[in-house]
Amino acid sequence: MKENQTMVMEFILLGFRLGPRIQMLLFGLFSLFYAFTLLGNGVILGLISLDSRLHTPMYFFLSHLAIVDIAYACNTVPQMLVNLLNPARPISFAGCMTQTFLFLSFAHTECLLLVVMSYDRYVAICHPLRYSVIVSWRVCITLVVTSWTCGVLLALVHVSLILRLPFCGPHEINHFFCEILSVLKLACADTRLNKVVIFVASVFVLVEPLCLVLVSYMRILFAILRIQSGEGRRKAFSTSSSHLCVVGLFFGSAIVMYMAPKSRHPEEQQKILFLFYSLFNPMLNPLIYSLRKSEVKGTLRRAVCKESPIGRLFSLC
């Protein structure tokens, strides 16, 4: 009996249980969002790498956020689009575990990167004269490497605990990707240890980072209120408020998913919340964090004008 339980070859992702017409509509809509995600984050990476004026700590962190967002989308969205065209398409056990590992790695890393970026903004606004000393390139590289390392190691712990579990039928995952809580529901063994580790990890990568981010932005707000220039105060407040909106969406939906009582959030509602991670947040981050900045818009304008005779003709430069 135990041998039959552990010989799981594949899972079936049920995806969104909707009618064929609605699924085709979602396929077109999500494909468009996916394209915007890849295009927006790809443009950010290209502009940062090509323009030496963007080789600063802030854009160094933004480039890694763009990498995480692209990886997020590529890990979950293609499988979701395939399932919309071909519902109940199976995924191998190894593929499912790989998808879970990658999703958790990128989720943890993004949480920590958002904390790093809030610290960078705090130093830039509250200690501008000491910014280059405090946020040196050595510090930047250390913070980014630490974020990626912690993200991967935490994901490795979760997947290792899943692999020790036996699985028995049915092998249907009621989700559009191999989300860890949905996978654990299929295990025919005690999963309390897994859930305790998930809760502890959520405190480490969600609650504590969110508190640090909020403290940073509270100090930023106080510093902004002391700025004498109205234009400088407006610019600093606009940047910080947009960042805080993204942080609120990201951490808020994550805390609801992994720390709130599950009985209050039906599975279909959970799928919608997870769309924020895999699709909406990666698509919005370039617009909020990067493409609104004057330096990025100037670099993009110069790149377009350099390549486009029509742009030069109409004096876009």
Looking at domain 2-313, its CATH superfamily turns out to be Rhodopsin 7-helix transmembrane proteins (1.20.1070.10)
| CA distance to 83, 87, 88, 132, 172, per residue, from 15 (Å) | 6, 7, 7, 48, 10
146 neighbors 112 (Cβ within 8 angstroms)? yes
d(CA 118, CA 240): 9
- Say how far residue 124 (Cα) sits from the centre of its chain: 24
- Whole-Å CA distances, 204 to 130, 150, 197, 201: 29, 10, 10, 5
| Tokens 């005779």 belong to residue | 309
Q: Where are the beta strands (DSSP E) in the chain?
A: 10-13, 90-92, 172-173
Which pLDDT belongs to residue 174? 83
pLDDT at 108: 93
Comparing C-alpha atoms, which of 137, 155, 118 is closest to residue 243? 118
3-state secondary structure of 177: coil
> By the 8 A CB rule, do 123 and 170 touch?
no
Q: Is the dihedral of CA 200, 206, 211, 216 positive or negative?
A: positive
Domain boundaries, the chain: 2-313
Q: Is the pTM of this model over 0.75?
A: yes
What does the pLDDT profile of the chain (317 residues) look like in tens digits?
Answer: 444 444 677 888 887 877 788 888 989 999 999 999 999 899 889 888 887 888 889 889 989 999 999 998 899 899 888 888 877 678 888 999 999 999 999 999 999 999 998 899 889 888 888 998 999 999 999 999 999 999 999 999 999 999 998 887 678 888 888 889 889 988 888 889 999 999 899 888 888 888 888 888 888 888 777 766 666 666 666 666 667 777 777 787 788 777 766 555 566 677 777 887 778 888 888 777 665 566 666 666 666 666 555 444 334 44
pLDDT of residue 238: 65
Residue 32 is predicted with a pLDDT of: 93
